């Protein structure tokens, strides 16, 4: 008698359908766009929104006109090519007015000067951004602000030379005083000596040297600056100056010295509590009253000073966050090695704090560069509002709307995206503790 074993299968099962695809594009779509009911609904809504945007924007972009002398001529060309009622972008305006968006009202025969200053900017930034380059190039980086000022504004060559001499006065006084009374008193005395030099001695010495050895180039007034030339000058200068100021303010806020900590906290909290537009109006209207009589301080330089102070307060808080993230052992390591305060900050603490703070610092720089468009409220011709209003006031381009903002926005995006990508590259390069 044959024995029946219940757990032994006596019939073959019918074949089943193959499993769903688990590789390639199908797998990616399942995991990222249709992983569940909610994700599927959001994907479909997103695709519908994308279709709506493209269906309206693509015809407008594809019907673009690049060669015309007025907005009316653009519309006539579009109607002839694509029929009555068709719409299209009139990029001919950008082709006709690109120089104003880039240089403002800077004299055209002097375009070589801001162009040369812009090219030299990369030479000056290269040793700062890429440490593999020779360190001697930092001397050119230190001299570049004076060279840039002379190329852009022109005038006597002795004016920027005497301005740089103020830093020499500061260094000499700091070295003499700090050796006997300490770093804090030495730095304060050096700063006061430099300010006195700039306010009282720089002008007469410049006039005397210009009278004895007349060297200079054609001057350009600040009201002829505009467009991205103005934004880049204000943005790059404020970014370069606000970082060291922010570092000092962050160290001052964490200092054990009551006076230094109180002054740092007061400055940071006051600046952070005031809108940037208020500081710009201060630069435009009030700052001149605090200067000695007869001094006509340039409006762009006044704006740069206030924008730098504004950015330094925010950078200080970002760096303070990086300092707070360091374990106490890093500070104790400096003490164990016998380093003084500044040596420990320079060799151990600050390199790590800055590495941690890179995303926040770059975000502040990007925000600062975009905020340069606010100078339109103090009468300067920024590329977004000032130049666009001037272009739209022209009878030939009256009525044009989207093209100026898209062009200015695209250039802002390229610059800010470049800063963001460099930040990500620098983060990957310095990510040594996770390799």
In the predicted model, what is the mean pLDDT of residues 315-324? 92
296 pLDDT exceeds 80? no
Q: How far apart are CA 71 and CA 89, in angstroms?
A: 10
Per-residue CA distances from 92 to 89, 409, 411 (Å) = 9, 17, 17
Encode pLDDT of 350-380 as tens digits.
888 888 888 899 999 999 999 898 888 888 8
Among 16-20, 26-30, 252-256, 383-387, where is mean pLDDT lowest? Answer: 16-20
Per-residue confidence (pLDDT) for residue 435, from 0 to 100: 45
Per-residue confidence (pLDDT) for residue 432, from 0 to 100: 61
Per-residue confidence (pLDDT) for residue 207, from 0 to 100: 87
Q: How far apart are CA 394 and CA 96, in angstroms?
A: 12
DSSP notation for 207-238: HHHHHHS--EE----GGG-BHHHHHHHHHHHH
105 pLDDT exceeds 70? yes
Encode pLDDT of 140-166 as tens digits.
888 898 899 899 998 889 988 998 898
116 pLDDT exceeds 90? yes
List own/partner pairs for 357-362 with CB under 8 A and 24 or more apart: 357/318, 357/319, 357/321, 357/322, 358/423, 358/426, 358/427, 358/430, 359/423, 359/427, 360/318, 360/321, 360/322, 361/243, 361/315, 361/318, 361/319, 362/419, 362/420, 362/422, 362/423
According to DSSP H, which parts of 256-349 are helical? Answer: 258-272, 276-281, 299-325, 328-336, 341-344
264 pLDDT exceeds 60? yes
How much of the chain exceeds pLDDT 90, in percent? 28
Per-residue confidence (pLDDT) for residue 380, from 0 to 100: 87
Encode pLDDT of 163-219 as tens digits.
889 888 998 998 888 888 777 788 888 889 988 888 888 888 888 888 888 888 999
Encode pLDDT of 281-294 as tens digits.
888 777 777 666 66
pLDDT band for position 434 (50/70/90)? Answer: very low
pLDDT band for position 40 (50/70/90)? Answer: very high
């Amino acid at each position: 008698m044959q024995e029946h074993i219940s757990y032994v299968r006596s019939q073959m099962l019918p074949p089943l359908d193959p499993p769903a695809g688990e590789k390639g594009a199908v797998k990616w779509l399942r995991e990222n766009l249709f992983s569940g009911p909610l994700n599927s609904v959001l994907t479909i809504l997103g695709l519908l929104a994308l279709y709506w945007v493209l269906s309206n924007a693509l015809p407008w972009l594809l019907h673009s006109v690049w060669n015309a002398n007025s907005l009316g001529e653009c519309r006539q060309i579009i109607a002839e090519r694509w029929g009555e009622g068709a719409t299209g972008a009139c990029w001919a305006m950008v082709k006709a007015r690109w120089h104003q968006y880039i240089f403002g009202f800077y004299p055209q025969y002097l375009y070589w000067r801001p162009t040369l200053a812009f090219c030299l900017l990369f030479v000056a930034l290269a040793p700062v951004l890429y440490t593999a380059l020779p360190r001697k190039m930092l001397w050119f980086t230190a001299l570049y602000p004076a060279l840039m000022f002379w190329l852009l504004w022109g005038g006597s060559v002795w004016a920027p030379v005497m301005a740089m001499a103020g830093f020499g006065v500061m260094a000499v006084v700091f070295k003499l005083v700090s050796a006997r009374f300490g770093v804090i008193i030495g730095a304060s005395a050096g700063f006061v000596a430099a300010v006195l030099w700039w306010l009282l001695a720089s002008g007469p010495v410049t006039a005397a040297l210009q009278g004895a050895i007349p060297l200079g180039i054609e001057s350009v007034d600040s009201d002829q600056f505009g467009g991205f030339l103005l934004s880049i000058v204000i943005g790059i200068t404020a970014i370069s100056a606000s970082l060291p100021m922010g570092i000092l303010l962050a160290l001052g806020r964490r200092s054990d010295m009551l006076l230094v900590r109180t002054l740092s906290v007061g400055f940071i909290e006051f600046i952070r509590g005031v809108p940037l537009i208020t500081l710009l109006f201060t630069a435009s209207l009030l700052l001149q009253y605090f200067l000695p009589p007869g001094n006509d301080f340039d409006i762009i330089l006044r704006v740069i000073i206030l924008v730098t102070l504004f950015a330094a307060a925010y950078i200080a808080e970002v760096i303070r966050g990086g300092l707070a993230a360091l374990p106490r052992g890093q500070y104790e390591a400096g003490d164990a090695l016998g380093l003084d305060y500044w040596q420990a900050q320079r060799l151990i603490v600050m390199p790590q704090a800055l590495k941690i703070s890179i995303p926040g610092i770059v975000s502040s720089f990007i925000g600062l560069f975009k905020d340069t468009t606010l100078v339109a409220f103090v009468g300067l011709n920024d590329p977004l509002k000032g130049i666009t209003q001037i272009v739209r006031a022209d009878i030939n381009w009256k009525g044009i709307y989207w093209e100026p903002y898209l062009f200015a926005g695209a250039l802002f995006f390229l610059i800010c995206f470049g800063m963001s990508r460099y930040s990500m590259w620098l983060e990957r390069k310095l990510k040594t503790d996770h390799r």
